[in-house]
Chains A and B, each alone.
Chain A
């Protein structure tokens, strides 16, 4: 990791940690007034985070998209960027950061514990289709995390309502349960479509790299599993009427499959043919 990148990376993590602490405070002490200020903090965090990405880009001469650390760095960037984007479009969605910021911290923290060393871009990664593949993977990851966040807020709201305290009913007052329910589906749909593009682009890339569109490589297999998982979620909603609490848990649980896709594959399957051999 270059010096400037390390500074930016750790600084952004610290900022996110403070923001996450702030959100926990806001939740526990029911003081949602601090939320807008925290959003400014997250914005500052994203700026510094962008600095880390830029520093890495200039040190290596290519976008960071290959190692676990780089996945964490860029995946985190997309999650925070999408959080800010939806909060900017609609004020009431600011609270999503309650779930998205800790998720970002986890994936960045995990990534940096793995392999942050700088490396030139392996030849396998120089491909137009790979760029499309990775870009859509990030978009879809960001959207699935937002769906999870909407699910978390839904459940928090529901729990507060179940307790029946005076202040509970108007918890996240400007976000009705119906709206959260719709939002879960909306982000799920966005994630599902971008996930489909990611898989299609990945298999076109695989054809040029390994000579076959699909070889049941662990990375391919798991990405299909997580896409199918979200396909099941869409079916459960559209054809079986799953909504609300059950759907929220589904959105939280299904994210696990994506996180496995993001990191787990390289842990579980060292033999994956995604690891290029040049003997």
Chain B
């Protein structure tokens, strides 16, 4: 029983079923909304609404299928099958690339493509030379030879499939060493990499260890929006040594194994409260989440301020609006309350203020931005890159530079001496025949 199971697990039929099984679970992940995509709140709501389905889901983990036990089991079998099959294949492939001309010549005449070339007197030595000129390695002499092109190509099967193990090792290292955390920083704000500065629950590496040592000052943020599309954002960071680094979408700041990526943008205006004489009695850069029409609020000097933002402000039909998403004419509409009672409201541009009670004024001094940065750190990329590169080289090597073999034997016939050629190629039939026809035509031209 165990023996036959192991035998099946080491078979290529099992390989196909395992890949199909992977396709099946990935399809579930594609068609069934996954918890990671819909978010926890929506998932909990669904769980409460459909308790039966939720129980099925709890057992099978179909809405977190990529990390579900069933998927891990399939992956386990996949790599086990890969290991077993490769173990069987390694000696076969090594034997194939080592080349034993006598063994090859013993098969002479059994290949799919056979040719007979009439030889002129004394030109037997020419054929091996001509084949060598066409990229063949020739073993033996003109009377009896074995020629092979891309002899080592079968090795690529091993390289390609074993590169999956590199990807696996890389993926495991990435998974266990990964740190991710979001940090919100306004312009001119420093960040020293402290864990406490990260937004709620950064993900620490599963293998232990703390956050990466990234230290910088957020010098400036310049978003670029054109016709409502984010066309870029220039974020300048200054590191401890005073060197500046630019972060853009697609262009993180990388230091060692850590990366700092742009994730989100917000407005960080400087609001000040002035007394009747114009003296500033309070002021702060507040981080507001007000883009795309969202309302946010902040508190200052006991006032509650609700804020709406218009990046390209216009007044149409007496109402505040924005002409575009570009930051051309920023303005805030503010509604100020104290203890639930309305105090003041108004729309302000930089340098303007709304009048509060007691002769105080709430001024919008300047507009800065804040950004949410994603800080990540993980090891293992060398394995991922090595895996990718080896897999690609191996695919080309195996499937494009596939192996061709020709055996040649000279025989005496009633019509004189003839060279019998017997050829075979990996993978192809008609196309390989075309190529051998051309090769033989070139040989015949010379004979």
**Which A residues have a C-beta under 8 Å from some C-beta of B?**
119-124, 126-127, 130, 176, 178-179, 181-183, 185-186, 189, 192-193, 196-197, 200, 205, 207-214, 216, 218, 221-222, 224-225, 228-229, 231-232, 235-236, 238-240, 268-269, 271, 273, 276-279
Structural contact, B233 and A178, CB atoms closer than 8 A: no
The residue from B16, B31, B171, B396 contacting A268, defined by CB atoms under 8 A apart: B31
Q: List 22 A-B contacts (CB under 8 A).
A: A123-B231, A123-B232, A123-B248, A124-B250, A179-B430, A181-B430, A182-B430, A189-B399, A192-B395, A197-B392, A200-B392, A208-B251, A211-B376, A212-B376, A218-B30, A221-B29, A228-B19, A232-B20, A235-B12, A236-B16, A239-B16, A277-B264
What's the least CB distance linking A101 to chain B, in Å?
25
State whether the Cβ of B61 lies closer than 8 Å to any Cβ in chain A.
no
Structural contact, B250 and A182, CB atoms closer than 8 A: no
**A183 / chain B contacts, CB cutoff of 8 Å:** 431
**Chain A, interface SS category:** helix
The residue from A127, A196, A208, A239 contacting B12, defined by CB atoms under 8 A apart: A239
Inter-chain contact count A-B, CB under 8 Å? 143
Residue of A whose beta carbon sits closest to that of B38: A271
What's the least CB distance linking B385 to chain A, in Å?
8
**How many B residues touch A, CB cutoff 8 Å?**
62
State whether the Cβ of B259 lies closer than 8 Å to any Cβ in chain A.
yes
Structural contact, B38 and A121, CB atoms closer than 8 A: no
What's the least CB distance linking B263 to chain A, in Å?
8
Interface residues in B285-305 (C-beta closer than 8 Å to A): 289, 291-292, 294
Interface residues in B65-95 (C-beta closer than 8 Å to A): 66
**A130 / chain B contacts, CB cutoff of 8 Å:** 250
A222 to B37, CA, bound (A): 15
What's the least CB distance linking A208 to chain B, in Å?
5
Structural contact, A279 and B264, CB atoms closer than 8 A: yes
Stretch of B128-136, B221-229, B346-354 lying at the A interface: B221-229
A222 to B384, CA, bound (A): 20
What's the least CB distance linking B14 to chain A, in Å?
11
Map CB proximity to A onto B1-37 as digits: 1 under 8 Å, 0 otherwise.
0000000000011011001101100110111011011
A209 to B252, CA, bound (A): 8
**A273 / chain B contacts, CB cutoff of 8 Å:** 37
Residue of A whose beta carbon sits closest to that of B395: A193
State whether the Cβ of B388 lies closer than 8 Å to any Cβ in chain A.
yes
Interface residues in B348-394 (C-beta closer than 8 Å to A): 374, 376, 381, 384, 388, 391-392
State whether the Cβ of B315 lies closer than 8 Å to any Cβ in chain A.
no
The residue from B229, B248, B252, B289 contacting A211, defined by CB atoms under 8 A apart: B252
Structural contact, B23 and A225, CB atoms closer than 8 A: yes
With A205-B250, A235-B12, A240-B16 given, is the CB distance from A123 to B26 under 8 Å?
A: no
Structural contact, A122 and B292, CB atoms closer than 8 A: no
The residue from A179, A196, A197, A228 contacting B22, defined by CB atoms under 8 A apart: A228
A230 to B362, CA, bound (A): 65
What's the least CB distance linking A62 to chain B, in Å?
10
**Which B residues have a C-beta under 8 Å from some C-beta of A?**
12-13, 15-16, 19-20, 22-23, 26-27, 29-31, 33-34, 36-38, 66, 171, 174, 180, 224-227, 229-233, 248-252, 259, 261, 264-266, 289, 291-292, 294, 374, 376, 381, 384, 388, 391-392, 395-396, 399-400, 427-432
Residue of A whose beta carbon sits closest to that of B64: A216
Structural contact, A123 and B27, CB atoms closer than 8 A: no
A165 to B292, CA, bound (A): 68
**A229 / chain B contacts, CB cutoff of 8 Å:** 23
Structural contact, B252 and A186, CB atoms closer than 8 A: no
Structural contact, B431 and A186, CB atoms closer than 8 A: yes
With A212-B376, A236-B16, A276-B230 given, is the CB distance from A126 to B27 under 8 Å?
A: no
Residue of B whose beta carbon sits closest to that of A277: B264
With A189-B399, A276-B230, A278-B230 given, is the CB distance from A127 to B374 under 8 Å?
A: no
Beyond the given A185-B427, A279-B291, could you list 11 further A-B residue pairs with CB under 8 A, ordered by the A residue number?
A: A126-B249, A130-B250, A178-B429, A189-B399, A211-B261, A211-B374, A212-B376, A216-B66, A225-B27, A235-B15, A279-B294
**B33 / chain A contacts, CB cutoff of 8 Å:** 271
**B37 / chain A contacts, CB cutoff of 8 Å:** 218, 269, 271, 273
Residue of B whose beta carbon sits closest to that of A125: B250
Structural contact, B249 and A181, CB atoms closer than 8 A: no
The residue from A178, A200, A209, A221 contacting B26, defined by CB atoms under 8 A apart: A221
